Structure formats: structure tokens, C-alpha cells
Chains A and B, each alone.
Chain A
Amino acid sequence: DGGITQSPKYLFRKEGQNVTLSCEQNLNHDAMYWYRQDPGQGLRLIYYSQIVNDFQKGDIAEGYSVSREKKESFPLTVTSAQKNPTAFYLCASTRALGRNEQFFGPGTRLTVL
């Protein structure tokens, strides 16, 4: 059963703590993406990766870090430097380079207390 999984679904953390959000896909997709969505807003790109061991900053990368050690996995770390981390975080992937249709995981809702 192919798809994109994100865990956990809900995450609560204290202010000042780093937290890592998981994103895994078994679709053999090349490119992966992380977005942030705030209430009533569209999606803003945090980071993306087109191939293993390479990634690019999106529009709002400050306070976030990523790694792409395996094709299937693209974890996102929300660091204490991110000023307002409470949001809905979405991971997506694209079938192949040159194709732009993105498919999304179920999302992680992060609340920083």
C-alpha cells in the first residue's frame, strides 16, 4: 500500500525545544517537500529536496533544518530559533524530476506551549 506517511499526527512541545517531524514515502518519488500552513492561509515552502543528500531552502527556511540521507525519508527539524512554530506541517513528494504534481501526506499539527 503505497503512500506518504507523517508522524506523529499531533505534537506538543515546550517553547525552546527542538522537535523532529517524520516524513516517509514508499512511492519511489524523487523530490520531497516540506510546507507550513497557518490558519486560513495557503501553503508556504520551507525546504525541498530533489535528490538524496541535496536540498534547497524554500521561502521560510529560517529556524528549520532538514536532511535527505535516503530517498524515502525527509525529516524536518523545527529548532528553537523558529519564532512561531505552532502550525500544520505538510510533507509532499513528486513522482519524477520534471513532473510537478505533488502528493501530500496527512500532516503533523505542531503546538508549542
Chain B
Amino acid sequence: QKEVEQNSGPLSVPEGAIASLNCTYSDRGSQSFFWYRQYSGKSPELIMSIYSNGDKEDGRFTAQLNKASQYVSLLIRDSQPSDSATYLCAVNVQGAQKLVFGQGTRLTINP
């Protein structure tokens, strides 16, 4: 079983709609959860971090964490073509100063 799992996609969403990206993880001791956006040929950019159960909103982005079910999600409201990218979920490894990354979900926003 992979430690961090994401649907690789591609996920296609019309412009203006809500894009929903999901991630599950296996380490129950994980405390820190991150979403990165990666444009083709570029390096990942941190867009959201979440540490406690519930929702965290930042502009058009909302991260949701449910530790009991071991999933974290990212919602993008009013999707724009510029949101088209691969989104990577990352989770800390308990007791170590490192992250485990999912394989990423490729998101395409259609004008």
C-alpha cells in the first residue's frame, strides 16, 4: 500500500466550477499536510498547509482534513484556466523531518 495516494487523473473541470482533489494517507501519526501546485516543467509551489481537522480557507482554495478517515482534500472554487497544473499532496512522516508525496493529480480547467 502506498503511503500517500492520489487519483492521477486527468481531472477535467469547466471554468468557473469547483475542482475537488483528494488524497489519502496511511500513517495515523502524521500531523502536517500540504498541497503543492506544479506547472509543467516547473518546480512545486506550496499553496496550502493544514494541521488540524476541519477546513482551512485561503482565497479560492480550501483544504479539508479528516484525521479519523485519513484523508485530506483541496477544493478550488471558481476554477480558472491558470489553475491547470498537477497538484501534489504531501504528508509528514511521524518522528522524522521529512515528507512523503503522492504521485499527483493532473487538473485541466476547460474554458
Which residues on B are within 8 Å of A, measured CB to CB?
4, 8, 32, 34, 42-46, 49, 88, 90, 92, 97-104
Contact = CB atoms under 8 A, between A and B. Distances in A.
B32 A104 contact: no
B25 to A, nearest CB: 13
B65 to A, nearest CB: 14
Given A40-B8, A42-B103, A100-B32, A90 B98 contact: no
B98 A45 contact: yes
Most chain B Cβ neighbours within 10 Å, of A44, A97, A102: A102
Nearest to A104: B43
B46 A48 contact: no
B8 A104 contact: no
A11 to B, nearest CB: 15
Given A43-B44, A43-B88, A105-B43, A100 B97 contact: yes
A12 to B, nearest CB: 17
Interface residues of A, number: 24
A66 interface: no
Contacts of A98: 97
Given A102-B46, A104-B45, A105-B43, A43 B101 contact: yes
Interface in A86-113: 90, 94, 97-98, 100-107
A74 interface: no
Nearest to A105: B43
A90 B101 CA distance: 13
Contacts of A41: 103-104
A107 B99 contact: no
Interface in A38-78: 40-45, 48, 50, 58
Nearest to B45: A104
Closest A-B pairs by Cβ, 9 of them: A42-B103, A104-B43, A100-B32, A43-B101, A42-B101, A100-B92, A107-B43, A104-B44, A106-B43
A49 to B, nearest CB: 10
